Amino acid sequence: MENFNAEYIVVRYGELSTKGKNRKDFVKYLADQIHYRLIDIKGIKIQKTYSRIIIHLNGVSEDEIVLRLATVFGISSYSVAIRCSLDLTEITQAAVSLMKIEMPTTFKVETRRQDKNYPFMSDDVNRAVATEILEQTEHKVDVHKPEIRVKVEIQSDKSYIMTKSYPGAQGYPVGVAGKMMVMLSGGIDSPVAAYLTMKRGAEIECIHFAAPPYTSQQAQQKVIQLAEILSAYQGRIKIHVVPFTALQMEIYQKANPSYAITLMRRMMYRIAERIAQKNNCLAISNGESMGQVASQTLQSMQVIGEVISMLVLRPVVSYDKLEIIDLANKIQTYETSIQPYEDCCTIFTVTNPVTKPKHDWVLMEENKLDYIDLLETAVNDTVTLIVSEREKRSDYL
């Protein structure tokens, strides 16, 4: 029998397990994501099986790997494991050895047989392992709310025994659904939308609209910090920073102030579509939540979105503000989002923004603007940065 040092991490698939003919492709994406996230840790080996990914630690400490796997979408859960043969006595002694290093508490044994030809049923293994733990340690059985779940996974030629398990990030591996452009404002909602977009398997790039000198360098740095936090789930993120001042001034100098927000959002959508297409994105994602502000009523979203043909997804559209804040706290973007640096959506105050804009009135106001060349300039003068999880810094391209 192999030694009882933790030498493996067993990774379980999340929704990937429901996939049919595409399952192999989804598992490959997940293995690639794990490899990329762990690429700088020397000595480990990643092995794909039909139902699991096995990480061979080869003497490497589990601690850093456990932390990094927590941000890999597509993982249901993962466990630190030891490996032994299929001999039931060896399995029970391996489990006992693991439980002897734990403080006395409650436990439950859970066996999964990948090889259905194994001579013992799962319940037989459960009873044998539990009996030895009870006889050789001070632990007690609790099948309803155990403190420790002793997991036994029996494969065709080996078995894995685990007592330490961790929840995964769920969802699909980043990239399996293609690429999307996220409108990242620096507020609370859009980073949450970015997180949820990645969780559904999309690789993301971000677009941010800056209006210097009305918006500060600190406001842009806040967006970079948010992208750094989000890069933990993807590895690296591109941020396209659009100079929006000229377009914004054109709107506020010539249009009816109550339509300014609507017109500004229409311009943002046009620019976002252009930059998304240049970067091979399939859709746009943003943090709009229905009814939360004037530009997010159904009427506003319809008249704003009509200026582009690209699909727009709104991951938090049905969330209320408290739900969004809870998720922002979970992914650790909230404290950065509430830093008091205004973005271009808040620097010009509109006292009575229209909440139900009519199509004809919007066009009448928009026709007052000379915006075609300004749009072109904004797209051409956009600056792209790369935020890397590993380096935690931004580099101009």
Does position 20 have pLDDT exceeding 70, yes or no? no
pLDDT of 26 strictly over 70 = yes
Assess contact for 324 and 289: CB atoms under 8 A: yes
CATH 3.30.2130.30-classified regions of the chain: 8-167
In this predicted model, what pLDDT tens digit does every residue of 36-69 receive, in sequence order?
Answer: 899 989 999 999 887 899 999 998 989 999 999 9
What's the pLDDT at 19?
Answer: 61
Does pLDDT of 122 surpass 70?
yes
Q: Could you tell me which CATH class the domain 179-396 is placed in?
A: alpha beta
Give per-residue pLDDT as tens, 215-251. 888 888 999 999 999 999 998 999 999 999 999 999 9
Share of the chain above pLDDT 70, in %: 92
- The yes-or-no verdict on residue 377 having pLDDT over 70 is yes
Q: How far apart are CA 343 and CA 206, in angstroms?
A: 15
Residue 160 pLDDT exceeds 90: yes
Using CA atoms, how far apart are residues 192 and 184, in angstroms rounded to an integer? Answer: 10
In percent, the amount of the chain with pLDDT more than 90 equals 76
SS3 of 17, please?
A: helix
pLDDT at 394: 42
Model pLDDT, residue 68:
94
Range name among 173-182, 234-243, 294-303 with the lowest pLDDT average: 294-303
What residue ranges of the chain are covered by domains with CATH 3.40.50.620? Answer: 179-396
The model's confidence at residue 388, banded by pLDDT at 50, 70 and 90, is confident
Q: What is the CATH number of domain 8-167?
A: 3.30.2130.30
321 Cβ neighbours under 8 A, 6+ residues apart? 188, 289, 292
Distances from the Cα of 17 to the Cαs of 30, 76, 152, in angstroms? 12, 10, 19
More confidently predicted of 296 and 89: 89
pLDDT of the residue at 362: 96
Query: Regarding predicted confidence, which is higher, 395 or 380?
Result: 380
pLDDT in tens, 188-208: 999 999 999 999 999 999 999
